Amino acid sequence: MTMKMSQAYIPTLKERPTEAETPSHELLLRGGMIRRVAAGIYSFLPLGYKVVRKVEQIIREELEKAGAQEVHLPLLHPAELWQESGRWDEMGDLMVKLKDRRNRDYCIGPTHEEVMTDLIRNELKSYKDLPQNFFQIQTKVRDEIRPRFGLLRAKEFSMKDAYSFHASWESLDVTYRDMHDAYCRIFERCGLDYRVVEADTGPMGGTDSHEFMVLAETGEDSVLFCDNCGYAANVEKAQSKVPKLKEKIDRPEKEEIYTPGVTTIEKLMEKMNLPGEYLFKSLLYKGEKDYYLAIVRGSDQLNENKLIALLGDPFLGLAEDGYRDLPAGFLGPQGEHGLKIIADELVMEMDWGVAGANREDYHIQGIVPGRDFSPDIVGDIRSARHGEGCPDCQGTLEEIRGIEVGHIFKLGTKYSESMKASFLDENGKAHPMIMGCYGIGVTRTVAAAIEQNHDENGIKWPLPLAPYQVILLTLGKDEKLNEESEKIYAELKGKGIEIIWDDRSERPGVKFNEADLLGIPLRITIGKKFLDSGQVELKDRFNNQDHMVDKDDLPDWVLKYLGEEEKS
RNA sequence: CGGAGCGUGGCGCAGUCUGGCAGCGCGCCUGCUUUGGGAGCAGGAGGUCGAAGGUUCAAAUCCUUUCGCUCCGACCA
């Protein structure tokens, strides 16, 4: 893997394209690594694709070490498989669906649980054949409502997905652990700063789930973690201990209060001159069949993921059309309305509070949980926040931003039951297989690496992902410099070093700036100083350190540098 | 789907209100000069002004329709 820049197609851009919203998006475009084809759809140019392949290779090596076998599943899936699992409808418009000339329905695979389960269900029949673990690296297509941030949220993207099949939960636990460890090695080898966090399983279903988050300010996900005990969870799932209220406000008599136009918690706090802990926030939700009224304290945010998990209703969403003639903005849990009441645990600890009166322009104060209303379900449905107590120890939770690059699930039997993938046990009795699934966003990892590692001049590739390890800049037209460069290039090439030589007749400024933009970890400059002293200049892109090295010592120096970086 | 905005050379934009030769910067080509942090001068190529229809002597500009894109929101293994 070596190249002369005079022959390479690396169309860099000096100006920032307007479409670029985040650093990775801008730098991938400016560095001539990707080009947009349509909204959320990108082509990879030579340099960008090299990085993708590096990530893929690391993934392959580590997964094979963990005992997974590589397969390649189709992009186009028949509707029947998805109808069988029930996700043809459940997934909704996230899938790109199409018909062939005979009017048969297909979708382009947004994920591969169905196809994978179908593949093994007719072949794997005995507990003796289990467990099995398969992976593939595939292009996935998801009709995202709003693709954005370049490769971070694209319509079409490359993903490694793996599926394991087991005869027992214990067996799944072992593989899950192995995959967890393999993922850790993968992201370590990629040179990324990441955290493993407890995650919500979402529409995938299943029990345990962990996400692998690359830490970056521009991340779309929020993670709460405790630096005392190491607890870490996505905010979608995180729990916390909330301190007791300091001042207690005496309970007033139950009384209706005229509150015209007070339809938000903010307005109600102002109107009543009460903290949010003394207000009931009532949110109307609609599930597959029922309507629900979710109640949290006014100071809390309802966590929709927790609510969905609690109710087990994947169709749940805010009921924007309202319910019967109840006035939006003035809802309350008390009274006869026929709604199922889901209350947060902290709501039940409230001494009293103000709730909507279920009557336009009125609220009621002095409402007491348990006395004035009794929830059908009580559970944790609020979002934990920065500064609250760690659920596992006495520490405090802190919030950081992350990019989800990996996600592993204990799926259980959701797909094996619906798709009838069963095995026979020692007694000849059939059971649904127990499944795990494991994903890594390959192209997203490339973008995350840049989000985490860049400066105002460009990308700073971690060495294991860099398209080239070394860039050689020749400055000036002196024939001796050119000859010497040719020698260095050939010599490093001979040592197996991935090197790109900027042999163009560009001015020094152009070469320096492009080298910084492209983010090649080690820069070797040969120019005037070499003619004077016989030394070449090395610069570490990552920590910006310079070294002057005698040309005879160069190959050893470079090998040593690459070796040390690889280890660290 | 709701709200806002944008489509003019490869990229970034002005021109549109008030109709009258299609412009600027970057990039590209040629030549000369320049060569340690995105050079200077001179010359040059490149555009159905997103598309369709209409108004007008005349449309990038006004009107109608339509397509695409971007941002905010809902949504998002």
Strand partners, A294: A283, A342
Strand, helix or coil at A296? strand
Q: Any residues with CB less than 8 A from the CB of A525 and at least 6 apart, and which?
A: A473, A475, A536, A537, A538, A539
φ, ψ of residue A65 in degrees (nearest 5): -60, -35
The segments of chain A whose pLDDT lies below 50 read: none
Position A377, amino acid: I
φ, ψ of residue A361 in degrees (nearest 5): 70, 20
Predicted confidence at residue A262, as pLDDT, reads 83
Predicted confidence at residue A348, as pLDDT, reads 92
Strand, helix or coil at A306? helix
Q: Which of residues 377-406 of A touch strand B (CB under 7 A)?
A: 404
Q: Which helix (H) or strand (E) holds A257?
A: strand A255-258
CA-closest candidate to residue A25, choices A454, A552, A464: A454
Q: Tell me, in Å, how far CA of A36 is from C1' of B28?
A: 21
Predicted confidence at residue A299, as pLDDT, reads 87
Phi-psi region of A524 (alpha: psi -120 to 50; beta: other; left: phi over 0): beta
Closest protein residue to B6 using CA and C1' atoms?
A18
What is d(CA A327, CA A362) in angstroms, rounded to the nearest whole number? 10
A464 Cα distance to chain centroid: 21
Q: Tell me, in Å, how far CA of A39 is from C1' of B61?
A: 29
Q: Tell me, in Å, how far CA of A134 is from C1' of B71?
A: 41
List the nucleotides on chain B closer than 7 A to a protein CB: 1, 11-13, 25-27, 34-39, 68-77
Burial class (CB in 10 A: 0-12, 13-18, 19+), A185: middle
Q: What DSSP letter does each residue of A84-124 carry, written as one string?
A: HHTHHHHTGGGSEEEE-TT--EEEE-S--HHHHHHHHHTT-
Q: Which nucleotide is nearest to A508 (CA to C1')?
A: B36
Predicted confidence at residue A458, as pLDDT, reads 95
Q: Tell me, in Å, how far CA of A17 is from C1' of B11?
A: 7
What is d(CA A292, CA A490) in angstroms, rounded to the nearest whole number? 71
To the nearest 10°, the Cα dihedral for A417, A420, A421, A422? 90
Q: Which nucleotide is nearest to A525 (CA to C1')?
A: B36
Q: Can you give the three-state secondary structure of A337-355, one letter per residue? A: CCCEEEEEHHHHCCCCEEE
Q: What DSSP letter does each residue of A15-62 carry, written as one string?
A: SPPTT--SHHHHHHHHTTSEEEEETTEEEEPHHHHHHHHHHHHHHHHH
| Predicted TM-score (pTM) of this structure | 0.91
Q: Tell me, in Å, how far CA of A161 is from C1' of B32?
A: 59
Strand, helix or coil at A405? strand
**A328-367 b/e (C-beta count within 10 Å ≥ 16 → b):** ebbbbbbeebebebbbbebbeebebbbbbbbeeebbbbbb
Burial class (CB in 10 A: 0-12, 13-18, 19+), A79: middle
Q: Tens digits of per-residue pLDDT, A224-263?
A: 999 899 898 988 888 899 888 777 899 999 999 998 888 8
What is d(CA A306, CA A381) in angstroms, rounded to the nearest whole number? 5
**Strand B at less than 7 A from CB of A456:** no
Predicted confidence at residue A338, as pLDDT, reads 82
Number of H helices, E strands in chain A: 15, 32
Predicted confidence at residue A567, as pLDDT, reads 64
